[in-house]
Structure 1
Amino acid sequence: MIVSIIGGTGPQGLGIGERLAIAGVDVIIGSRKEEKALDVVEQAKKDLADYDLSNMKGMANEDAAKEGDVLIITVPLAAQKPTVEGIKEFCKDKIVMDATVPLETAIGGKPFRFIDLMEGSAAERTASILDGTGAKVICAFCNISNSHLSNIPEDIDCDCLIAGDDKQSKEVAAEIINKIPGVKTIDCGILEKARIIEKITPLLIGLNIKYKSHYGGLRITGINFE
């Protein structure tokens, strides 16, 4: 299985890609420009020279989406719509995890403030764009900080909340996400639950700012998920 990180050259996408590649997953880092993706992957291999990252390569977003079996979208809100529209033809019947969060930074505001979208959530917006393709959209990775992801080799002390309408696709997504050391994936239900999950991100950002941290996360306790 190949996992393609669409818009994966930023801290979040690259962190996810590095973590999965170290865990043995074949990873493609996508970017608007192939050259940037290739440069970022080359630098990552230098920075993490103690690890075998031969299973990670760079491509343009469209090629990454075409080659990937599972796609993870890691772009800012402003880039979400054009990015998803640009790869739509390659999303047929694929699992598409979306990490986009509607933060006020998209309009020059504060990172701890949320923007209400007409579709209800960023993940639902992606689902509306991909309607008719058979893509299974899952909200994922919204509540794991970039600092956690890049803090290799330390385990990530955080649950990953996901939501989606297709149970089997969520099971596949969880199997992939759980390869990251320390992370436990929690299925929160239907895709509409993304409206709640995405709003946790600005709360965590605000807590990190208030308490001068980069590693604020959350654990769901007291529930037997077996």
Structure 2
Amino acid sequence: MAAGKRTAADLGAHICFEDEAGQGLRPPKGRTWAPRGARPVVRVRGRNRGRVNVAGVVCYRAGCRSRFFFKLHIWHGRRGEPKAFSWRQYRDLIVMTHIQLGTPVVWCWDNLNVHLVKELADFAEEHQDWLQIFQMPSYAPELNPAEGIWSLLKRAPGRLRRRRPNAPHPRDQAETEEGPVPVPPGRRLSATHRPDHGRGHDQTAGLHEFTLSNSRAVNAV
């Protein structure tokens, strides 16, 4: 990873670590207190199919606050529906992260098979002016800071607040705005590599950013 850090410093880029996580839609089991002889019953749907996949990327740059973006893929269990992210969705995640950061990107991720497809390699080669991709070693989750994000999300969801990428920091604004993610002016892509091309969507559609209100948790990551 030292090579990636030197590359990011030389380019004035953000170094971005990407990782995936998922959660099944099967209702969870739990235990609670209840009066004797009055067992609490929670009615749920009988179907156990479905899954929510999250592709998240945590971004760092010297002198800047860290950023965390994520994209969702929901599988409903329908016939013919893709269960996981495609290479096009990963490409769009890279592009949208670059647009929001406004700097070159040094992208670091693991050796998942979809990360290694020829289409993504060709895309990286075509956009060498702002994109450098590094494959992380196998079986080395300790090198990826994004791995720690998932435990924070599951342990303390109440401390997370969604905010617009260009909105003021929470300490400067008591209430955060909700609305469409803005696209910085002058950052248009060619039609070939535009996310959601041909469907009339915003370039940053589907990309979300979360901020951790607990500064100690951010520093720990």
Q: Which has the higher helix share?
A: 1
* TM-score normalised by L of structure 2: 0.26
Greater RCO, 1 or 2 (C-alpha within 8 Å, sep 6+)? 2
* TM-score normalised by L of structure 1: 0.25
Q: Which has the higher strand share?
A: 2
